[in-house]
A and B are shown apart, each in its own frame.
Chain A
Amino acid sequence: MKSGLKKHLLWGLAASIAALSVVAATPSKAAEAREELRAQFDKALKGKTVAWVPVWLGVLESEWTRVMKAHFDDYGIKFEVRDPNFKSDVQLQAVSSLINEHPDVLIVQNPNVTLLAKELKRAMEAGIYVVQVNMASNTLSDAYVGVDARDLGRRLAKNIIGDCGGGKGSGEISILEGEATAAYSLDMKNGAMEVFKSDPSIKVVSSQPTSWDANKAGEITSTVLQQHPNLCGILSVWGPQAAGAVQAAKAAGKSGAKIYVASDGQPADCDLLEQGGFYRILSYRADTQGEAIVNAVIGLLQSGDKPGTKRIAYYTTPAWVNSKEDRIYCFAVPKDAK
């Protein structure tokens, strides 16, 4: 009995020592695995080159660029930006010459669906991952990050019908487009018209391009308000141009027209909403989009896939901004940001 107990104790002791040593061994192995993960991450990213060609460096594009640069610098990725400043020939040239420089990833913002389509195909054939931002071209590529402009149009239109349709308002709507040929603007308008047409109480009295110009938007709005004093809603595909409509509505006096804006979430748009100029904003937040672009890039670099073999989409979920409470859906540009 005594010796039996002793034996048990001994076994017990041995077992606990064994268990302890296992427990002790586990963390060191785990630490190794975690370090390996980081090493694998660094190996995939460090020293890689990412090239970025926006349409131009406006507020939206600068915010994307700022977020991208912060992350890429941190990961040891070389980041090159070319700003064609709205010149499509310059943009095409920039993309062509970049393909010859052979970066690991090429990020582009398409001005339309055709301009870069051929070059993007060539880039993937040359072994460069291609990420397209905010508007896909006719060539689909490894990743697409951005909004679905048609869907933004539908969401805005549904929201406007909620306020203006079915006898709640006059049902008269005006649409402020962007550049007449810009696909972003056309898609959004078509999405909105699809929904508006489904409701007989809605009448789109004007749909005019503004060339992204606040002054032009103001001129159109003052003429439209003269013809349709009971105008219920104005849908603008972009913020800064709609600022002109705000002033025109003010100058027209007792206008009850509400202004709905599809926005990249730039601070000035939220400012105008808080000052009562805009009625509602559908914001797709450039800062979080910037994060999504970064994620697409580092995902591709770690995937080991051959460029041109996958089609991954990262659609942005837009958020409604109704009041000061929703300020989080607008980004803030840090003071020292370049």
Chain B
Amino acid sequence: MPLSGEAARVRKPSQTMAVLAMCLFLIVIFSVSLKGFLTVGNLLALARNISILGILALGMAVVVIGRGLDLSQVASFAASTAIAIIIINAGYPTALAVFVGLVLAIAIGVLNGFLISVVEMPPLLTTLASSLAVLGLVRSTAVQHYVVYLAKGHDGFLQLGGNVWNGVPVPILIFGVSAILLHLFLSRTVLGRSIYAHGDNPDAARLAGLATRPLTMLEYALSAGIGYVGGVVMVAETALMHLQIAESTLIFDVIMVVVLGGVSLVGGRGNVMSVLVGTLLIGVLLNGMTIMDMDVQTQNIIKGIVLLIAIVLDSYLHPHDE
């Protein structure tokens, strides 16, 4: 972890390259050693499997670039998609239900942003608390047993989790489109650049005349909103939402992907490319290990080692005291 913004500025772009190199290395190793890795079918399955994690990481990246952290992202999409499913099951139009869920998710994001920027609570505690509150509220009012199933016969909606053109998974297309849109937003718009400025130096950003409070709300709203897209894809893939996902390690996987790819926790660093690379590395790794049918302990050891190698490689290439 970088100690100062200055160090991070020098290091970060290269971390993306280092991770990309590791990723290519793994792909070569797996292609040679694993029968069935380098096939169109498997690569499409791999693409399908990384889509949701990737979409969530895109949302998380926005907040992290703005020097924040959103621990409530998974809880917020789980709760809002669960409510959307309930509305669909009650017979309302799917588009309306999905929209209501989106509004709900964004509202949670804005509330997070409000508490952090106006009430000035620390992001870590705010989002931890709001995730517990949202989850508890939804569970006690709407989803007693944690699981909501999508009723039978919403094939149009489920198509979002299906395939097009001879097996191309729709989720990867949604991930791709989200990534391009977010890239354009972050790199080409004033608001997007403002998020970098905000994360780079919040005080300077404020003194320069940026409205940092609404900006914070926007960042968290984007995290929740993009997270919601990931949640909708998840529902389309499984035809259910299990609120327990909010208590799983998914949120840490999301943060790991973001940080691994080079979006620094000190803020203002990294971009959409970092997220894509981080997601790809984790995706390739998980896919290879699943093909090998490795037991879970070995999987964890290898995941940990890869993460360590990525960090060591990076600090070897770019020592701290440069």
Mark A residues whose CB is within 8 Å of B: 57-59, 62, 85-86, 180, 205-209, 211-215, 218-220, 222-227, 240, 243-244, 246-248, 250-251, 253, 268, 271, 275
Are the C-beta atoms of A222 and B238 separated by less than 8 Å?
no
Flag whether B127 is at the interface (Cβ < 8 A).
no
Count how many chain B residues have C-beta atoms less than 8 Å from C-beta atoms of the other chain. Answer: 40
Contact check, B291 vs A58: say whether CB atoms are below 8 A apart: no
- Residues 235-250 of B at the A interface (beta carbon under 8 Å): 237-240, 242, 244-245, 247-249
Given A211-B248, A227-B291, A251-B48, 9 more pairs with CB closer than 8 A = A62-B145, A86-B247, A208-B293, A209-B296, A212-B244, A225-B45, A227-B42, A240-B242, A250-B162
Q: Is the CB of A215 within 8 A of B52?
A: yes
- Please tell me if the beta carbons of B167 and A253 are within 8 angstroms of each other in the complex: yes
The answer to whether B293 and A205 touch across the interface, beta carbons within 8 angstroms, is yes
- Give the Cβ gap from A65 to chain B, nearest Cβ, in Å: 11
Q: Can you name the residue of chain B whose Cβ is closest to the Cβ of A333?
A: B145
Q: Once the chains bind, are A218 and B45 in contact (CB under 8 Å)?
A: no
Interface residues of B in 294-311 (CB under 8 A from A): 296-297
Distance in angstroms from B39 CB to nearest chain A CB is 7
A244, closest chain B residue (CB):
B238
User: Beta-carbon contacts of B135-172 to A below 8 Å, as 1s and 0s?
Assistant: 00000000011110100100000100111000101000
Residues of chain A within 8 A (CB-CB) of B249 are: 211
Q: Is the CB of A206 within 8 A of B293?
A: yes
User: In this assembly, does B31 line the interface, its C-beta being within 8 Å of a C-beta of chain A?
Assistant: no
Bound-state CA distance A57–B144 (Å) is 9
Q: Is B234 at the interface (CB under 8 A from chain A)?
A: yes
Is B76 interfacial (CB 8 A cutoff)?
A: no
Closest residue of chain A to B233, judged by CB?
A: A215
Check A214/B145 contact, CB under 8 A, given A226-B41, A226-B45, A275-B152. no
A275 to B147, CA, bound (A): 18
For B153, the closest partner residue in chain A by CB is A275
Please determine whether A243 and B149 come into contact, CB atoms closer than 8 angstroms.
yes
Enumerate the 6 nearest inter-chain pairs by beta-carbon distance, A residue then B residue, closest first.
Answer: A214-B238, A180-B296, A219-B49, A244-B238, A59-B145, A226-B45
Within 8 A of A (CB), among B220-261: 234, 237-240, 242, 244-245, 247-249
**Chain A neighbourhood of B44, CB < 8 A:** 226
B240 CB contacts on chain A under 8 angstroms = 214, 240, 243-244, 268
Known contacts A247-B161, A275-B152; is-contact A226 B36 (Cβ 8 Å): yes
**B296→A220 contact, CB < 8 A:** no
B42's partner among A86, A223, A247, A271 (CB-CB below 8 A) is A223
Cβ–Cβ contact A215 & B42, under 8 A: no
- A59 in contact with B42 (CB, 8 Å): no
Instruction: Say yes or no: B147 contacts A247, CB within 8 Å.
Output: no
Q: What would be 25 A-B contacts, judged by CB atoms less than 8 Å apart?
A: A58-B146, A59-B146, A59-B147, A85-B247, A207-B293, A208-B290, A212-B244, A213-B248, A214-B238, A215-B234, A215-B237, A222-B45, A223-B49, A224-B290, A227-B291, A240-B242, A243-B240, A247-B161, A247-B239, A248-B237, A251-B237, A253-B167, A268-B147, A268-B149, A271-B152
Q: Are A218 and B146 touching (Cβ within 8 A)?
A: no
Please state if B238 and A218 are interface contacts (CB–CB under 8 Å).
yes
Q: Is the CB of B287 within 8 A of A223?
A: yes
Which single residue of chain B is at the shortest CB-CB distance from A338? Answer: B144
- Looking at the assembled complex, report how far the CB atom of A205 sits from the nearest CB atom of chain B, in whole angstroms: 7
The interface of chain B, by Cβ under 8 A from chain A, is 36, 39, 41-42, 44-46, 48-49, 52, 144-147, 149, 152, 158, 161-163, 167, 169, 234, 237-240, 242, 244-245, 247-249, 286-287, 290-291, 293, 296-297
Could you say which residues of chain B place their CB within 8 Å of the CB of A215? 52, 234, 237-238, 245
Query: What residues of A have a CB within 8 angstroms of the CB of B146 in the complex?
Result: 58-59
> Nearest CB to that of B146 among chain A residues?
A58
Given known contacts A208-B290, A251-B162, A243 and B238 CB-to-CB distance under 8 angstroms: yes
How many whole Å from A211's CB to the nearest CB in chain B? 6
Residue pair B244, A86 in contact (C-beta under 8 Å): yes
| Bound-state Cα–Cα, A337 to B167, Å | 44
**Chain A residues within an 8 Å CB radius of B167:** 253
A181 to B277, CA, bound (A): 31
B45 contact set on A, CB distance < 8 A: 222-223, 225-226
CB-CB under 8 A from A206, the residues of chain B are 290, 293
Q: Which residues of B contact A212 (CB under 8 A)?
A: 242, 244
* B147 proximity list for chain A (CB < 8 A): 58-59, 240, 268
Contact A58 B145 (CB under 8 A): yes
Q: Least Cβ distance of B237 to chain A in Å?
A: 6
Q: How far is the CA of A143 from the CA of B41 in the complex (A)?
A: 52
Bound-complex Cα distance A63 to B247 (A): 22
Give Cα A215–Cα B235 distance, bound, in whole angstroms.
Answer: 9
- Residue with the highest number of chain A CB atoms closer than 10 Å, among B167, B248, B293: B293
- What is the minimal beta-carbon distance from A254 to any residue of chain B, in angstroms? 11
Q: Which among B152, B167, B237 has the greatest number of chain A C-beta atoms within 10 A?
A: B237
Distance (whole angstroms) from the CB of A247 to the closest CB of chain B: 5
Closest B residue by C-beta to A175: B293
Q: In the complex the two chains form, what is the Cα distance from A58 to B17 in whole Å?
A: 45
> In the complex the two chains form, what is the Cα distance from A57 to B167 in whole Å?
39
